[in-house]
Amino acid sequence: MVSTDLHRDIEAVLLTEEQIQRRVAELGAQISKDYEGKELHLIGVLRGAVMFLADLMRSLTIPCSCDFIAISSYGMDTKSTGVVRILKDLDDSVQGRHVLIVEDIVDTGLTLNYILNLIRVRNPASVRVCALLDKPERRIVPVTIHYLGFTIPNQFVVGYGLDYRQQYRNLPYIGVLRPEIYGGG
Ligand code: IMP
């Protein structure tokens, strides 16, 4: 059960608010430089990437727009089922646009691989990926992450948009959830 004090359910803070904000600003500066003279279309993967996209977008100095896509991944559990389907498609066309997919975390790579295939057939001018976190140990499908915040170990993390059963997204840092919360301890 989720505690009334969310911080109590966190075993360890993996990335502090300051570390995240500093890295997001660096990514924003790099992306702005790489896309100078172009217009960028950010595609946020709901719901986990909302916080990251909001901060990243504010750190961009180039003209940009955003859209969102929702894909089913883990349902209510902490393990990937491998079953991926669209829950909410994009509102706008990506044809001829420079697309940057914004993900919270790349784990097995199944979600990102699915989204990349979906977008590529819609003829964008270019497609790149920006992910806040990477858990390379769990990869099933190889995917290229052009802009990465942090590589993390194979632990289930929450906060800064990442959830466990829709909770903990509002924590300003990224922390490891106590295993007893999800029955893993
Ligand atoms: P993938 O398809 O296995 O790469 O999973 C990607 C999605 O799984 C992410 O967008 C997250 O929503 C979710 N996910 C993977 N690892 C974690 C985690 O440690 N905490 C919370 N959500 C996670």
Residue 108 CB–ligand 1 contact under 6 Å: yes
For residue 148, how far is its CA from the centre of ligand 1 (angstroms)? 15
pLDDT by residue for the chain (185 residues), tens only, comes to: 777 788 899 999 999 999 999 999 999 999 999 999 999 999 999 999 999 999 999 999 999 999 999 998 655 455 555 667 899 999 999 999 999 999 999 999 999 999 999 999 999 999 999 999 999 999 999 999 999 999 999 999 999 999 999 999 999 999 999 988 877 65
Q: Ligand 1 within 6 A of 104 CB?
A: yes
Q: What does each C-alpha distance from 54 to 44, 69, 95, 102, 144 come to in angstroms? A: 9, 15, 23, 10, 22
Question: pTM of the prediction?
Answer: 0.94
Strand 126-134 with 147-151, pairing: parallel
| Ligand 1 center–CA 61 separation, angstroms | 29
pLDDT for 81: 58
Which atom of ligand 1 has the smallest separation from the CA of 84?
A: 2
DSSP character at residue 21: H
Residues annotated as catalytic are 107
- Residue 89 to residue 156: CA distance in whole angstroms: 27
**What 8-state DSSP symbol labels residue 167?**
B
The alpha carbon of 108 and the centre of ligand 1 are apart by a number of angstroms equal to 8
pLDDT score for 181: 87
